[in-house]
Structure 1
Amino acid sequence: MKPVKPVNPMTQPEAAARLRGLYAITPEDPLLPRLSTLVEAALQGGVRLLQYRNKTAPAPLRRAQAAEMLRLCHAHDALLIINDDLPLALELNADGVHLGRDDHGADIAVARAALGPGKILGISCYADPARAAAAAQAGASYVAFGSLYPSPTKPQAPPAPLALLGEARRCGLPVAAIGGITLDNAPATIAAGADMLAVISDLFDAADITARARAYRALFTSFHSQRGSHESQ
Structure 2
Amino acid sequence: MKFPMRGLYAITQTDHKSQGTVIDEVEAAIRGGTAVVQYRDKNPRDALALARELVRVCHRHNVPLLVNDDVELALQAGADGVHLGKDDGHIGEARERLGADAIIGLSCYNSLDRALEAQTHGATYAAFGRFFPSNSKPLAAPAQLDTLRQAKQALSIPVVAIGGILPENGAQLLAAGADLLAVIGGIFDREPEVSTRAYLRLFDQ
Asked if the contact 2:127/2:159 (under 8 Å) is kept, the reply is: yes
RMSD of aligned alpha carbons: 1.2
For residues 5 and 136 of structure 2, what CA distance do their matches in structure 1 show? Answer: 23
Which residue number in structure 2 is paired with residue 163 of structure 1? 146
Residue 109 (structure 1) aligned to one of 89, 92, 99: 92
Paired with 1:219 and 1:198, the residues of 2 have a C-alpha distance of 13
Superposition deviation, residue 114 in structure 1: 2.0
Contact 1:48/1:77 (8 A) holds in 2:
no
SS at 1:212's partner residue? helix
Instruction: Provide Cα deviations, 1:99-157, integer angstroms capped at 9, x if missing partner.
Output: 00112xx1111112222221110000011111101100101000000111111111100
Aligned to 2:68: 83
8 Å CA contact retained: 1:83, 1:97: yes
Q: Does 1:39 align with 2:26?
A: yes
Name the structure 2 match of 1:185: 169
Per-residue deviation at 1:19? Answer: 3.4
SS of equivalent residue, structure 2 residue 145:
coil
Mapping 1:21-170, distance limit 5 Å:
21-29=7-15, 30-58=17-45, 61-103=46-88, 106-169=89-152, 170=154
> Which has the larger Rg?
1
Query: What is the letter of the counterpart of residue 205 of structure 1?
Result: D
Percentage identity across aligned positions?
47
SS of 2:8's partner is strand
Equivalent residues, number: 203
Q: TM-score, normalised by structure 2?
A: 0.95
User: Which whole-Å CA distance do the structure 1 matches of 2:80 and 2:37 have between them?
Assistant: 10
- Give distance in 1, aligned partners of 2:96 and 2:44: 27
Q: Distance in 1 between matches of 2:22 and 2:12?
A: 8
Runs (4 or more) in structure 1 with deviation over 2 Å come to none
Is contact 1:95–1:119 with CA below 8 Å preserved after alignment?
Answer: yes
Higher mean displacement: 177-186 or 31-40: 31-40
Cα-to-partner distance string for 1:165-215 (whole Å, 9 max, x where unaligned): 111121221000000000001111110110010000011112x32111112
CA distance in 1, matches of 2:135, 2:199: 19
Offset of 1:63 from its aligned partner? Answer: 0.8
1:163 alignment partner, SS class: helix
Give TM-score, length-normalised by structure 1.
0.84
What's the offset of the Cα at 1:218? 2.3
Q: Is the 8 A contact 1:19 1:49 kept in 2?
A: no
SS across alignment from 1:140: coil
Are 2:187 and 1:219 aligned?
no
Q: Deviations over 1:12-63 (max 9, x none)?
A: xxx24x23210000002351011111111111111120000001214xx111
Q: How big is the shift at 1:92?
A: 1.8
Unaligned runs of 5+ in 2: none
Unaligned 5+ runs, structure 1? 1-9, 224-233
Q: Distance in 1 between matches of 2:35 and 2:109?
A: 24
User: 2:110·2:142 contact (CA, 8 Å) conserved in 1?
Assistant: yes
User: Aligned to 2:30, what secondary structure does the other structure show?
Assistant: helix
Whole-Å separation in 1 of the counterparts to 2:199 and 2:87? 30
Distance 2:29 2:130 in 1: 22
Matched residues in 2 for 1:114 and 1:26: separation?
A: 24
> Which one-letter code corresponds to 2:57 in the other structure?
L
CA distance, structure 2, for counterparts of residue 79 and residue 112 of structure 1:
17
